[in-house]
Amino acid sequence: ESYLQGVFKKKGEGWEEKKLGEVLVKTETVDPTKNPDTEFTYLDVSSVNKETKEIETPTVLIGKDAPSRAKKLIRTSDVIFATVRPTHSRVALIPEEFDEQVCSTGYFVLRTKENVNNKLVFYFLLTKGFNEQMEKLQKGASYPAVTDNDVKGILFRFPKSLKQQQTIVRQLDALRAETQKLEAVYQKKIDDLEELKKSILDKAFKGELKTEKAVVI
């Protein structure tokens, strides 16, 4: 987290700062109900796992069953960010399998211009600094949200060189992979401990738990 945060705080020659909206291109909206029998994949706000940042629960629908919020067209390499409860950090990169599918209006779709690496924007949205700004901007007590324009107004610092952007992305990819590996090992230890606890409790209630007598020396 500290390394990720530090990447986007760099200043100096070859770096520039722009509002996020200035590095994005316009995205499209669609109306699936106009093709009532056509099948499509829909991503609602809960489709993105807020821990792994992966799309896990897409829904396959036909046009006539499209929910009213199924309006935003997504393409391969787009970045989607849930503007509903924005501090939950539901951020994902769109893989090829979801090219030209549909997501909820509860997402802001970020499609970068040619001079900006889309994954650099993906990682920027994961920073503590970005999350803190979302917390300040969100409105609504029971259903906090930000607008697409709120996100577009956030300042984004990045190197002008695409090659340098790609180098940073490779480093962040490697760090993310290592972090996920460590988290998996840690989770397995927790799961094993939980299983051991259940086994001991089970034996205790069955009267099968053996106790060793203390040996006095």
Q: pLDDT digits over 27-85, tens only?
A: 999 999 999 999 999 999 999 999 999 999 999 999 999 999 999 999 999 999 999 99
Over its C-alpha atoms, the chain yields an Rg (Å, rounded) of 23
- In whole numbers, what is the pLDDT of the chain averaged over residues? 90
- Structural domain contains residue 42: yes
- Structural domain contains residue 214: no
User: Does residue 183 carry a pLDDT above 80?
Assistant: no
- Structural domain contains residue 67: yes
CATH of the domain at 128: 3.90.220.20
Q: Which residues of 155-193 are buried (b: 16+ CB within 10 A; e: fewer)?
A: ebebbeeeeebeebbeebeeeeeeeeeeeeeeeeeeeee
- Structural domain contains residue 22: yes
Name the β-bridge partners of 108. 81
| Number of Cβ atoms within 10 Å of the Cβ of 69 | 15
**Domain interval for residue 46:** 2-176
Per-residue pLDDT tens for 119-174?
A: 999 999 999 999 999 999 999 988 999 999 999 999 999 999 999 999 999 999 89
- Structural domain contains residue 140: yes
- Smallest CA-to-CA distance from 108 within 79, 129, 137 is with 79
- Structural domain contains residue 201: no
Number of structural domains the chain divides into: 1
Strands of 39-43's sheet, edge to edge? Answer: 59-62, 39-43, 101-104, 70-74
User: Does residue 1 carry a pLDDT above 70?
Assistant: no
- Structural domain contains residue 193: no
188 is written with which tokens? 């397995």
Residue 184 binned pLDDT confidence (cut-offs 50, 70, 90): low
- Structural domain contains residue 138: yes
The model's pTM: 0.81
Per-residue pLDDT tens for 75-114?
A: 999 999 999 999 999 999 999 999 999 999 999 999 999 9
